Chain A
Amino acid sequence: MERTALPGRLSWQLGEVVATQGETARAKSITLALPTWMGHRAGQHVDVRLTAEDGYQAERSYSIASPPEEQPHVTLTVERLDDGEVSPYLTGELRIGDKLELRGPIGGYFVWEAQMGGPLLLVAGGSGIVPLMAMLRHRAAVGSTVATRLLYSSRSSEEVIYSDELDHLVSSSTMLEVVQTLTRVQPPGWTGYHRRIDSEMLRAVAWPPGQRPLAFICGPTPFVETAAASLVTLGYDPVRIKTERFGPTGET
């Protein structure tokens, strides 16, 4: 075990927004400077807490998009939910110089580090790409050559987060393949998949189970359950399939 010290209880800390970047019409990346950040591992998340003037508080979990190598800066990518309590503020109102309250890093379960090896299968639905992007950025930052495939499902090409960076990573890395499916709208000339992820698609894209792949699946709950069940059917070892579900939470 590398981490023998007790990590200690989590507490809330303040970060300052140092950069923001629109990723798609609905997704925005927010980079925070966190003076007391203890470091994170790729795949972990934070809880963000907003407090209204009357004391009302709302908390939501957001995945960290940046690799550990960029600390003490931490980047979150947040997708706006129109009826959400927190994401419209984070994507629409938050400005450089503002302070944001968060606790983290959280979760050693959905984590990949280069020394864990592979082959690595990443399966993303929509903004489920965010923690998997932290893994790909970590992989690139340390020069890992672990054989890696990303299967990424989006509704349309306009909703693909990190599109240019993924293209760049594929052309500049060895042993990295990205396969996309666009489930609702495809641009003219699209030759990729154009349906939701299913067993047949995973059979074509995923590493053969005999190679003992390590799989990480992140997306909305039905997406994750479909993908995980399909991989088990294909013969993947359930212990080597890690999942992270996301979706709207709280009272709406």
Chain B
Amino acid sequence: MENKLDGNAAAGILQEIFPFDMTLVQATCTGCGATDVIGALAAYIHGMGTIVRCPSCDTALIRVAQTRGRYWLDMRGVRFLQINTGA
């Protein structure tokens, strides 16, 4: 089954890869140009992995999966990530 959640639910696996609070990282969609924090985006959790989608145009921004010893990260739907380091 597929259930629409939000980017909060995708943050756990993303934060194994990125050393930032990924719910607060801003992502710009290649589909429609909308920018929002990942926590406010849509997320779909499958047994195979996680897809983060634009809530406006449904473009897949981030696909992430983990198999033994390897992360698979497809970010072709992201035009920019803006990461606030707090400095």
Contact = CB atoms under 8 A, between A and B. Distances in A.
Q: Is the interface of B mostly helix, strand, loop or mixed?
A: mixed
Which 5 residue pairs across A and B have the least CB separation, nearest first? A109-B39, A251-B47, A109-B23, A1-B86, A47-B12
Contact of A61 (B12, B24, B39): B12
A244 B6 contact: yes
Contact of A107 (B8, B13, B85): B8
Contacts of B7: 109
Contacts of A45: 8
Contacts of B84: 1
A115 interface: no
Nearest to B6: A245
Interface residues of A, number: 34
Interface string B27-46: 00000000001111000011
Given A6-B19, A246-B9, A249-B5, 20 more contacts: A1-B86, A3-B86, A4-B87, A7-B20, A9-B16, A9-B17, A10-B15, A47-B12, A103-B15, A106-B11, A106-B23, A109-B23, A109-B38, A221-B5, A246-B5, A247-B3, A247-B5, A249-B3, A250-B45, A251-B46
Interface of A: 1, 3-11, 45-47, 59, 61, 103-104, 106-110, 221, 242-252
Interface residues on B, range: 20 to 34
Contacts of A104: 12
A77 to B, nearest CB: 17
Q: Is the interface of A mostly helix, strand, loop or mixed?
A: loop
